[in-house]
Amino acid sequence: MAMNYNSKDEVDGGPPCPPGGTAKTRRPDNTAFKQQRLPAWQPILTAGTVLPTFFIIGLIFIPIGIGIFVTSNNIREIEIDYTGTEPSSPCNKCLSPEVTPCICTIDFTLEKSFEGNVFMYYGLSNFYQNHRRYVKSRDDSQLNGDSSALLNPSKECEPYRRNEDKPIAPCGAIANSMFNDTLELFLIGNDSYPTPITLKKKGIAWWTDKNIKFRNPSGAESLEERFKGTTKPVNWLNPVYMLDSDPDNNGFVNEDFIVWMRTAALPTFRKLYRLIERKSDLHPTLPAGRYYLNITYNYPVHSFDGRKRMILSTISWMGGKNPFLGIAYIAIGSISFLLGVVLLVINHKYRNSSNTADITI
């Protein structure tokens, strides 16, 4: 780097003091920084310091792991695949596109009652919501209620930008491919009279998404008016302002829509569908018993070998059922312990090494 170039030096002959005899010497300052003598702590990794660390980490991680594992195991979860590819499945009939609307019903039994709030998910597999073009195919401005973007969606939405010369709202492939099965849950009581389980539609999306990121176009008129001039996505049955009857859950702020728009990271994913709120401490939210799931089968997945599932799950402080984290913690704790032992043995055997010549990186 030519940074230190000083043409003056070269013209005047450089270091030997200029004839002017300036009293100023060029002795470098004697500061700790310039002399690289800053007070420092030089941590040398010795057996004495490292070994306890390993054991301590082991001791901390294993209990945490056990805790997580137990918590995760206490979570009740039931998963019902209703794709209907098997001929025996009640939904098998819905595979053919002619049957519209196709409603199928799947029976299942809860062995144990589900306490507390129960989450109802739908799960899709082999569905690439993380595909690059797919992920990009949306217009956040439009979803944020920007009126100009509403009528003139971003180019990213192509080829779901306009339909029949009208801008699509919401535009893009993500919105277009929104999950549109309807799931209903019924408890088959002893009296053989099925009780519908109340499924709460709201509260399934992130608060920030619902209240900040997604907004309907502003205006005092009805939602339909505000979406005037736009058309529904190609695959949709209804326009966006008819997703729900509740005006707080309609249009862009429809939570099912918001959840769908928060794309999954991986091709097999679940999305929250409904909440089943606990009614009281006395009664379990979902008592053990027989249930049937009523499915309005709209969403085609068999073309790409996808699966559709319905999942019911209770939750804990750390979310849904997740055995892996607990196992991971236990494993890390054990590894740490093991490494500690190995180090102890090695250190015991080769104690002669000195640490002064320690120049490993």
Partner 1 sequence: MGDTGGRRGAQRGRKAQPGRAGKYELRPKGPAGMGSLSHGEDFQDGNENTAFTWDVKANNQAYNWQFKEKVFLCWHRQKYKTNVIRTAKYNFFSFLPWNLYEQFHHVSNVYFLLIIILQGIPEISTLPWFTLFAPLVCLIVIRATRDLVDDIGRHRSDRAINSRPCQVLVGKSFVWQEWKNLCVGDVIRLSKDSIVPADLLLLASTEPSSLCYVETADIDGETNLKFRQALMVTHQELTSTRKMASFQGRVTCEEPNSRMHQFVGCLEWNGKMYPLDIGNLLLRGCKIRNTDTCYGMVIYAGCPSVTCGLPIPSWCRAGSPAPARVPAAPSPAHPPPHAAPQIFLLLVVMSTALAMSFGLWMREFKDRHHYLWILYQGGVALESFFIFWAFLILLSAMVPLAMFIMAEFIYLGNSIFINWDQEMYYAPLDVPAKARSTSLNDQLGQVEYIFSDKTGTLTQNILTFKKCCIDGHVYGPDSESRTPKGNPYLWNQFADGKLRFHNEKLLRIVRAKRDKVVREFWRALAICHTVMVQEKDSERPDLPVYQAASPDEEALVTAARNFGYVFLSRTQDTITLMELGEERVYQVLAMMDFNSTRKRMSVLVRNPEGTICLYTKGADTVILERLHRKHSAKLSTEEALAAFAKETLRTLCLAYKEVDEATYKRWHQRHQEASVLLQNRAQALQEVYNKMEQNLKLLGATAIEDRLQDGVPDTIKYLKKASIKIWVLTGDKQETAVNIGFACQLLSDNIHILEEKEIVHILEACSKCSSNPLTKKGFPKFPPHIKLAMVIDGDFLDKLLLSLRKEPRALIQNVEADDSRQEPWEAVRDFLRARGLSMLWQNFGVQQTPTKSKDSKTRESPEVQRERAFVDLASRCQAVICCRVTPKQKALIVALVKKYHQVVTLAIGDGANDVNMIKTADIGVGLAGQEGMQAVQNSDFALGQFCFLQRLLLVHGRWSYMRVCKFLRYFIYKTLAITMTQIWFAFYNGFSAQPLYEGWFLALFNLLYTTLPCLYVGLFEQDVSAQQSLQMPKLYVAGLKGELFNYWVFLQAIAHGTATSLVNFFMTLWISWDTAGPCSFSDYQSFVVVVALSGLLCITMEVILIVKYWTVLFVVAIVLSLSFYGVMTYVTQSYGLYQISPKTFSFLYADHNMLSCPSTMLVILSNVTLNTLPVLALRMICQTLKKPYPKEEAEEEAPTEEIFTVEPIPHLHRGSCGRRSSYAFSHYEGYADLITQGTILQRPQEVSSELESDSPVTSEEELLLRPNSSCWHFRKLSLGRLRHHQGEVSFEEMKPSSAMSSSSSVDRQSAVNSDNQGSPTKKLPAAMNRASGSFQKLQMVKKRPLSPKQRPPLPENLLSTKEGSVPLPKERALPKKHQLSLPESQPQPSATKPLPLGQTLWGSQTESSEEKLSPVSTSVPLGESQPYISPKEPHASKEGTVVETLPGTEESSL
Site for partner 1 in 87-146 (CB under 8 A): 119, 121, 123, 125, 127-135, 137, 140-141, 143-144
Q: Is 232 exposed, middle or buried (0-12, 13-18, 19+ CB in 10 A)?
A: buried
Backbone angles phi, psi at 167, to 5 degrees: -70, 140
Q: Which stretch binds partner 1 (CB under 8 A): 5-13, 81-89, 184-192, 246-254?
A: 5-13
- 182: helix, coil or strand? strand
Residues 66-85 that bind partner 1 (CB under 8 A): 68
- Quick check: 181 binds partner 1 (CB under 8 A)? no
Minimum distance, C-beta of residue 221 to partner 1, in the bound complex (Å): 23
What strands, in cross-sheet order, belong to the sheet with 182-188?
A: 102-110, 289-297, 182-188, 194-196
Q: Which stretch binds partner 1 (CB under 8 A): 57-65, 161-169, 238-246, 280-288?
A: 57-65
Residue number, 14 or 196, with CB nearest to partner 1: 14
Virtual torsion, Cα 27, 31, 36, 41, nearest 10 deg? 160
Minimum distance, C-beta of residue 188 to partner 1, in the bound complex (Å): 26
Q: How far apart are CA 201 and CA 257, in angstroms?
A: 11
Which of 20, 44, 164, 280 binds partner 1 (CB under 8 A)? It is: 44
Which of 78, 103, 151, 328 binds partner 1 (CB under 8 A)? It is: 328
Number of residues that this document lists for the chain: 361
Residues 190-209 that bind partner 1 (CB under 8 A): 206, 208-209
Which of 88, 190, 280, 360 binds partner 1 (CB under 8 A)? It is: 360
- Applying CB under 8 A, the site for partner 1 has a residue count of 118
> Where does residue 270 fall: left (phi above 0), alpha (psi -120 to 50 degrees), or beta otherwise?
beta
- Quick check: 40 binds partner 1 (CB under 8 A)? yes
- Quick check: 290 binds partner 1 (CB under 8 A)? no
Q: How far apart are CA 198 and CA 295, in angstroms?
A: 15
Minimum distance, C-beta of residue 51 to partner 1, in the bound complex (Å): 8
Q: How far apart are CA 297 and CA 315, in angstroms?
A: 27
Minimum distance, C-beta of residue 96 to partner 1, in the bound complex (Å): 16
Virtual torsion, Cα 19, 22, 25, 26, nearest 10 deg? -70
| Nearest Cα to Cα of residue 284 among 75, 117, 120, 76 | 117
CA 285 to chain CA centroid, nearest Å: 26
Residues 153-172 that bind partner 1 (CB under 8 A): 154-156, 159
Residues 331-350 that bind partner 1 (CB under 8 A): 332, 335-336, 339, 342-343, 346-347, 350
CA dist 245 → 95, 181, 224 (Å): 29, 17, 12
Residues 213-272 that bind partner 1 (CB under 8 A): 213, 262-272
Minimum distance, C-beta of residue 198 to partner 1, in the bound complex (Å): 19
